Amino acid sequence: MNKQELIDHVAETTDASKADVTRILDTALHGIKDAVAKGDIVQLIGFGSFAAGERAAREGRNPKTGEKIQLAAARTVKFSAGKAFKDAINRH
pLDDT at 92: 73
pLDDT at 79: 97
Domain spans, the chain: 1-39, 41-92
Dihedral pair phi/psi, residue 51, rounded to 5°: -150, 155
pLDDT in tens, 35-90: 999 999 999 999 999 999 999 999 999 999 999 999 999 999 999 999 999 999 99
Given a cut of 90, is residue 18 above it in pLDDT? yes
Q: What CATH number should be reported for the domain whose range is 41-92?
A: 4.10.520.10
Q: Please say whether the beta carbons of 54 and 73 come within 8 A.
A: yes
pTM of the model as a whole: 0.79
47: nearest Cα among 21, 24, 79: 79
Given a cut of 80, is residue 29 above it in pLDDT? yes
According to DSSP, residue 55 is labeled E
